[in-house]
Structure formats: C-alpha cells, structure tokens
C-alpha cells in the first residue's frame, strides 16, 4: 500500500514498536543440507519470540534483487525502495553524516588521472591512499564560488563528496562527468532539465577551480563527479505511521538513512548492550525505535561463518532486556542476506519475526530460514513489515466503512 494511504489510516496508541535490525542476517548453508548462520546459532530468546509471535521471510526490494544497505533499510521503514530512490551523491553525504540542507546538490566525487591529451587513464587515481587524498579534499573544500557555497569532504581513498549549496534553490538533474571508462575525456557538465541550468554553471565553475588545484599532482590530477542529487522530499515516517521515530546506529550510513525519513538518530557504540541503554533512555520520548546492529553483516562479508554465528548469539542475548525496556511490538530481521558462503549481500529472502499484539498460532518453533519459510507470515515484501507491526500496535484504523 502507498505511504499516503497508510498515513490516512494512522491512529494513536500507547504501544511502542521496536525494529531491531541484525544487518545482513539472512544466510546460506556452507554445504548442502547444512544450517545457515542463524540456524547454527543458539538463539533461545528469539526462538521464544517466534513461538509466542509470528515469523516469515521478506524480500527487501524484489525477487532476485540483491539490496544495498540504503534500499534494504528503506524497505524496513515501510518505503518501497523501487519508488523511493536516492542518488549516489545523497548516499555519499549520508555515509559521512554531512548535514544536507533541502536545496543542497550533492555529488559523489572521484580523484582520477588524465593524460597529456586530457583523456582519463585511471578513474580512481590508482586507488590513491586515504593519507594522500585527504589533504587534496581539504584543498578542494577551500574553493569559493559566486552564488553558492561549496563543501568537499573526503570519504575514503579516491572517494570524496561534493555539496553545492546555491544561494537560490536550483535543480540537481545533471549528467555524470565520470565517463565510466578510460581512454576518453571526462563528460561535460550538463543540465538534464532547464531547472538545473544554474547548477550546471556552478558545478562547471567549481570543477574548473578543482582541476586547477589538482593540476600537476602526480597521482590525482583531476576530479570526476557523478550521482548529482538533492535530499528527497518524501513523506516523513511520523506522517505515515503516526509514531515519533528514533534511531540508534554505530555507523553514519544507517543514521543517515533514518534521518532521510525524518527519524531522530544518534550514534551508539557497536555492542548490543549499548542499544538496550539507548532504548531505556528514550522509551518515553518516542513511539518507534530503530536499533541497528552491524556485526553480522561484517562477518558475512568476511566469509566468517562462525563469527557471524557468534554475533547473532550476542544479538540474541539482549532480547529480554529490549522487552523489559518497554518495547510492546518487536520486529527482528535483517535489511538483506549476507551469507558467509558468498562473502557479499545476496538476493535470498530474509527471516523476520514479529512479536506482540494479537497473533495466530505459529507453526515455526525457532528463528531460522527454513522455519520462517513455513512460518505463519509467509513470504513478504520488506515494505510490508511496518504496516503489519503498526496494526499489531493498534495504530492502523479500519479501511472503509
């Protein structure tokens, strides 16, 4: 259902909703017939919530599609990632927690190398080191423009973020200057809509200045830009679900995505106990809580099955404390699968459980991929979890008379 229609049904309730995200939770057996990471883990608390609650599988974006972290989280917040897309520039800004204003135009930048004829020889400047690139980004941050402010922040290695903050709001719809291949010149700065023509002039002026600063540098003598975008103007989570939302995450990217839908988001240490502390402190002030736990995804990306199992077990141990802190309705799931077998995100459906509120009997006896495949909630799109949890919290009114 579209967010606007959910918003029309939202009603008040005193029940608190918790979304506890175990990043990259879904997994695969290392050998045919074996358990997944979640199935190998001892998770007595989550198993208990499954038996007393409900479980199923969700696909965050679409069948067969491997989600990035941004789309995966938007789905869990109830936003269809195919409809609510963010540009790479905005994602770069989110990833370093740059405070984007509504009129800002953000781009992802690469340091690159051009030959004497101005043709790209390396789009990533030989993956220049962070040590060497950071001072270059600082030098670019000093560039001053007429009609706008310009901000540059170093991200990592050859990557930086550019934000143009125009004195008068203007469009962000510009073509990439990164040609995507070597042996050709960078593409010209070019507005794709009439409304973006003032931005084209500003970016051209910035790029001329930047290439002047970089000229003659032996490892990075030019800059490429792509993913021009502005902070999207989406319905806020609070407008949609009628809950005051709060997020806690150790990594800036996840706080950024939470803020994109209007959540108040804070940084926390990476351990699960810190998430409990944050929930306890904020329980009266907010109605919805997004707690992000990153380690299972990192272990999956490292191909470390046993470590992922251990992180899932650590995540399980705090579950009683989360309930004790006052969470009435609890969703526990991942934003995507990250099987250690594949060492990467994958398209496989993600197990989820919803606990609290009125529920039918659950045939599944534990939290795991195979059990959830036969769980009472079925196979869902990721965006459907929030309405299902909101309903259990008594926060969605009847549709029609």
Which residues are at the interface with a copy of itself (CB under 8 A)?
A: 1, 5, 9, 28-29, 32-34, 36, 52, 57, 61-71, 81-82, 85-86, 88, 91, 95, 339, 341-342, 345-348, 358-361, 363, 369-370, 373-374, 376, 378-380, 384, 386-391, 396-401
Answer whether 185's CB lies under 8 Å from 224's CB.
no
Those residues whose C-beta lies under 8 Å from the C-beta of residue 374, and which sit 6 or more positions away, are: 363, 364
Structure tokens at 15: 């029940």
**Residue entry with tokens 């004195």:** 167
What is d(CA 353, CA 43) in angstroms, rounded to the nearest whole number?
Answer: 13
DSSP, collapsed to helix, strand or coil, labels residue 328 as coil
Min CB(334)–a copy of itself separation in Å: 14
| Cβ at position 201, least distance to a copy of itself in Å | 28
The distance of closest approach from Cβ of residue 340 to a copy of itself in the complex, given in angstroms and rounded to an integer, is: 11
User: Among residues 166 and 382, whose Cβ is nearest to a copy of itself?
Assistant: 382
By beta-carbon proximity to a copy of itself, the closer residue of 83 and 281 is 83
Residues 6+ apart with CB under 8 A from 248: 265, 266, 267, 268, 274, 275, 278, 279, 289, 290, 291, 292
Give least dist CB 320 to a copy of itself, A: 18
Q: Which of 377, 374, 382 is nearest to 337 (CA)?
A: 382
* Stated length of the chain: 401
At residue 385's C-alpha, the angle toward residues 379 and 272, to 5°, is 110
| Residue number with CB closer to a copy of itself (85 or 313) | 85
Please give the Cα distance from 162 to 206 (Å, whole number): 10
The residue among 60 and 198 lying less far from a copy of itself, judged by its C-beta, is: 60
10: which DSSP letter?
B
Report, in Å, the least distance between residue 22 CB and a copy of itself: 17
Our CB check for a copy of itself shows the closer of 247 and 368 to be 368
Q: CA 120 to CA 101: how far, in whole Å? A: 33
Q: Which is nearer to a copy of itself, 104 or 369 (CB)?
A: 369
Tokens of 84: 């609510």
Minimum CB separation from a copy of itself for residue 237, in Å?
A: 15
The one-character DSSP state at 77 is T
CB nearer a copy of itself, residue 102 or residue 398: 398
User: Smallest distance, Å, CB 216 to a copy of itself?
Assistant: 32
């Amino acid at each position: 259902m579209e967010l606007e229609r959910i918003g029309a049904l939202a009603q008040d309730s005193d029940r608190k909703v918790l979304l506890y995200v175990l990043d990259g939770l879904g997994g695969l057996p290392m050998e045919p017939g074996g358990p997944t990471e979640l199935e190998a883990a001892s998770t007595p608390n989550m198993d208990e919530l499954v038996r007393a609650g409900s479980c199923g599988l969700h696909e965050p974006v679409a069948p067969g599609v491997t989600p990035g972290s941004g789309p995966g989280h938007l789905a869990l917040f109830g936003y269809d990632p195919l409809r609510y897309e963010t540009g790479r520039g905005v994602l770069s800004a989110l990833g370093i927690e740059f405070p984007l204003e509504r009129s800002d135009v953000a781009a992802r930048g690469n340091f690159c190398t051009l030959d004497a004829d101005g043709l790209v020889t390396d789009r990533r400047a030989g993956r220049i080191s962070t040590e060497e690139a950071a001072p270059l980004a600082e030098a670019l941050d000093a560039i001053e423009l007429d009609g706008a402010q310009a901000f540059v922040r170093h991200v990592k290695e050859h990557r930086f973020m550019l934000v143009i903050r125009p004195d008068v709001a203007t469009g962000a719809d510009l073509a990439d200057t990164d040609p995507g291949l070597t042996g050709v010149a960078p593409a010209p700065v070019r507005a794709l809509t009439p409304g973006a023509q003032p931005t084209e002039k500003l970016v051209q002026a910035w790029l001329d200045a930047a290439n002047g600063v970089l000229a003659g540098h032996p490892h990075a003598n030019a800059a490429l830009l792509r993913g021009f975008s502005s902070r999207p103007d989406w319905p806020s989570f609070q407008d949609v679900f009628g809950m005051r939302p709060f997020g806690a995450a150790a990594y800036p990217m996840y706080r950024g995505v939470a803020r994109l839908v209007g959540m108040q988001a804070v940084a926390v240490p990476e351990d699960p106990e810190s998430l409990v502390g944050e929930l306890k402190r904020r329980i009266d002030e907010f109605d919805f809580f997004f707690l992000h736990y990153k380690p299972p995804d990192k272990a999956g990306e490292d191909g470390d099955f046993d470590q992922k199992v251990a992180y899932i077990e650590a995540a399980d141990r705090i579950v009683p404390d989360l309930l004790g802190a006052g969470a009435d309705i609890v969703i526990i799931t991942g934003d995507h699968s990250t099987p250690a077998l594949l060492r990467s995100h994958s398209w496989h459906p993600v197990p989820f459980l919803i606990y609290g509120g009125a529920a039918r009997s659950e045939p599944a006896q534990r939290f795991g991929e195979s059990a959830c495949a036969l769980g009472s909630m079925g196979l869902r799109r990721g965006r459907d979890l929030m309405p299902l949890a909101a309903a259990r919290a008594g926060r969605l009114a009847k549709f029609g008379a």
